[in-house]
Amino acid sequence: MDLSFSPEEERFRERVRNFLGDNLPPGWGTAEQRLPAEMSQVDFLRDWQRRLYEGGLLGMSWPKEYGGQSASRTEMAIFNEEMALHRAPAPLNALGLSMAGPTIITHGTDEQKRRFLRKILSCEEIWCQGFSEPDAGSDVASLRTRAALSGDEFVVNGQKVWTSLAHVADWCMLLVRTDPDAPRHRGLSYLLVDMHGPGVTVRPLRQITGESEFNEVFFEDVRVPRANLLGGLNDGWRVAMTTLTNERGTAALASVARVRMAFDESVELARTIRRGGAPATADPLVRQRLAQFYVELEMMKYTSYRVFSKILS
């Protein structure tokens, strides 16, 4: 397993670092971190995604003809790692970038690719994922939202829940049942649904934090053009598996970077806090727990590199 990066990959890392240093607000990632004045969080994240796109740092693996970079998996991993190390915010259209876009690239028609992909990258159109339902949860195959084909349109009725970003989304990756008589996994279809169309109702779910990241979404006689069917009719399960596979992407190295920062902060905190007149690091139990944290962090790092090496081979 080769853990080294080529000179070209190191130059790419330096480009990402320079971009983040030049474009993140002053003090970002510290206790002084603040949003720019008179900008809401949504506006800030939309502008941040636009900067990333214009800087050539989004759609890393996407074809250039649709606005992507045709970059390698290693460059994707480097980008994710540097984003984590700089504590940079994720783009607003994260679900579009990590799930909708790759799924459209894999299963979409040329017309669908031309229609949707560049607007996902630029954050002109935001996406949400309509899979989970009140009585289905993670058992996607048991969903009940129906779509009946009527001429050149599907008529959709049903409900989704825990739908992240639905309150600001323009489009939805919607998994529906189109053949109620088929086996559960074989009667599903995958639709691209306009969230601003008649019959779509979004109700934010307020969390204990006061935020409303998740939503309920209701579909009442919502008409979806057949041209917005992604993949074949009743082939939605296969398309959905593509979506769920791309949800993970090359984020493992970014996760390692975030855990490493948490470890470093824990060590610094233990050196600063005093217990019984001495730094907490003088306590054998604290040292033992920090050592275990470090061992598990190293296991996580090398496991991630090993898996990533397998992906590249």
Q: What does each of the 313 residues of the chain score in pLDDT, given as a tens digit?
A: 566 789 999 999 999 999 999 999 888 877 777 777 778 889 999 999 999 999 999 998 899 999 999 998 888 888 988 998 898 998 999 999 989 999 999 999 999 999 999 999 999 999 999 999 998 767 788 899 999 999 999 999 999 999 999 999 999 999 999 999 898 889 999 999 999 999 999 999 988 887 778 999 999 999 999 999 999 999 999 999 999 876 554 566 778 888 888 998 899 999 999 988 899 999 999 999 999 999 999 998 888 777 766 655 5
Identity of the amino acid at 190: Y
Active site residue 8: no
Only one residue has tokens 């790419």, namely 12
Instruction: Tell me what pLDDT residue 74 has.
Output: 84
Instruction: Tell me what pLDDT residue 30 has.
Output: 76
Q: Sign of torsion, CA 27 33 38 40?
A: positive
Instruction: Tell me what pLDDT residue 231 has.
Output: 97
The Cα–Cα gap between 113 and 99 comes to 14
CATH architecture of 127-246: Beta Barrel (2.40)
- Report the half-sphere exposure of 81 (CA within 13 A, side-chain side): 20
The Cα–Cα gap between 103 and 109 comes to 11
What is the 8-class DSSP label of residue 248? Answer: T
Q: Which residues of 5-33 are buried (b: 16+ CB within 10 A; e: fewer)?
A: eeeeeeebbebbeebbeebbeeebeeeee
The whole-angstrom distance between residue 11's C-alpha and the CA centroid of its chain comes to 26
Helix H or strand E encompassing 149? strand 146-150
The three-class DSSP label of residue 196 is coil
Backbone angles phi, psi at 79, to 5 degrees: -60, -50
- CB atoms < 10 A from the CB of 284, how many? 8
Instruction: Tell me what pLDDT residue 203 has.
Output: 96
Contact between 120 and 127 (Cβ < 8 Å): yes
- DSSP-assigned beta bridge partners for residue 147: 156
Query: Catalytic residue among 8, 211, 247, 296, which?
Result: 247
Q: Would you say the pTM of this structure is higher than 0.85?
A: no
CATH architecture of 7-92: Orthogonal Bundle (1.10)
The Cα–Cα gap between 69 and 305 comes to 23
Q: By C-alpha distance, which of 48, 49, 42, 163 is closest to 97? A: 49
Only one residue has tokens 């349109």, namely 153
Q: Which residues of 251-277 are buried (b: 16+ CB within 10 A; e: fewer)?
A: bbbbebbbbbeeeeeebeebeeeeeee
What is the 8-class DSSP label of residue 162? Answer: S
